[in-house]
Amino acid sequence: MVAAMSLAACGGGDGGEGSKTLRVTLVNHVWTENIKKALPEFEKQSGLTVEVTQLGEDQLSDQYNVKLNAGASDLDVMMYRPLQEGKQFGKNKYLADLTEKTKSDSAFEFGDFQAGPVQATTYEDKVVGVPIITEQEVLYYRKDLLTKSGFTAPPKTLDELKAQAAKVEADNPGVAGFVARTGKAAAVTQFSSFLFSFGGDFVDGSGKATVNTEQAKQAYAYYGGLLRDHGPENISTDMSWSEAMAIFTQGKAAFYTEANSLYKNATDPTKSKVVETVGFAPFPAGPAGSKPYNIPSWALGVNDNSENKDNAWKFVQWAAGKEQALAQQTAGVPGARASVWANPAATASYPKDLVEANTVSTANGVGHDRPLVVKVAQAREIVGQPIVDAITGKDAAASADTANEAFQKFLDDEAK
């Protein structure tokens, strides 16, 4: 659905330099609905008329591909996915450089944004976007099953996770010790926190593929082995979050690592059988510590071909400012501002242990959960293959070597 609307009675202009009409393209999301309700306040303050085009994710991508490739100037503010489109948009110079605006605007307090999400909205040391919606990976677990097996606290390390999963599984026939995504591409995002916590990454500082380092091989073997040895019986290798979540919420697994943004699936009585017993904990520490992802799933950028950049920045200032960030997070949409996370009012509606778990994620979080490349889907297929091979009992180390060679070729091709 396209919802293009003028949300003020005054304004006008044709979108040129200093135009009072601002064109803002947003995705279908709770954040967008909240912002639309608050828009009259912004228009009154700024004297601008905001025309919103609201699209589904696929439609949004299609529109950006067409308009940005054509150098269109009738997009001013763009809501985009930094981890999916950031590299492509940066490489093609679609996004305006906001570095000076963020530096010179003391009231905006850009330093208030967490480091992880800011990494993802920075391209070649230039700020090209402002993170507005974030996700972190946490551990979902069953309090009742841990108590039954004699554990007084959830696992703090990956070694403890494996030990507790094995014990709970042994004590509860028919219940898996652990469940998580298994699909080749789908699993990459959640596997990333294991990779980081083992001390690995998808590429090194020079941009070379590193999915066959010793740390990466250990992470693949651990993740695949945990699912192979303690996952659901007859485990499939095409599970995305919805299938894995269903197993957990139907009471068929003790532990589940997943994005915190999906927590209501486990706490909603209409969806979950474990509402009374679900707990949340920080991502367990590996050899390199607890390093879950802390990513911006969505950000705001300014079209570099816009002729209304100053007014576009005014919108970004407002929509990503402290007041709106607090309102959004209070309504259940987590953002990237440290001060908002530290405000008890912002997280009053969240489970207390989830807020505590997020404290670790936001402090230690890594700003990506997949390779930062132009062709993200293709890259995920390559680096996800060793996950599937490890789950099915194949040689994970050999698979990582094969994947690294293919991934390096992919990176070399993209660099041409």
- pLDDT at res. 52: 97
Q: How far apart are CA 120 and CA 7, in angstroms?
A: 31
Strand locations in 28-143, DSSP E?
A: 49-55, 77-80, 122-123, 126-127, 130-142
C-beta of residue 15 within 8 angstroms of C-beta of residue 23? yes
- pLDDT at res. 13: 38
Residues in the chain: 416
- pLDDT at res. 18: 63
Tokens 């905001």, located at residue:
50
pTM higher than the cut 0.85: yes
At 77, list the tokens: 């503010």
Residue spans of alpha helices (H) in 172-213: 186-197
- pLDDT at res. 111: 96
Phi-psi group of 212: left, alpha or beta (phi > 0 → left; psi -120 to 50 → alpha; rest → beta): alpha
- pLDDT at res. 9: 31
Q: How far apart are CA 201 and CA 369, in angstroms?
A: 10
- The tens digit of pLDDT for each residue in 5-17 reads 433 333 333 334 4
Residue spans of alpha helices (H) in 70-200: 82-91, 99-104, 115-120, 143-148, 158-171, 186-197
At 398, list the tokens: 């050999």
Side chain identity at 103, as an amino acid letter? K
At 374, list the tokens: 């132009």
| CA distance readout (Å), 354 to 261, 350, 365 | 10, 7, 15
- pLDDT at res. 3: 43
pLDDT < 70 regions, the chain: 1-18
- pLDDT at res. 2: 40
At 397, list the tokens: 């180390």
- pLDDT at res. 416: 87
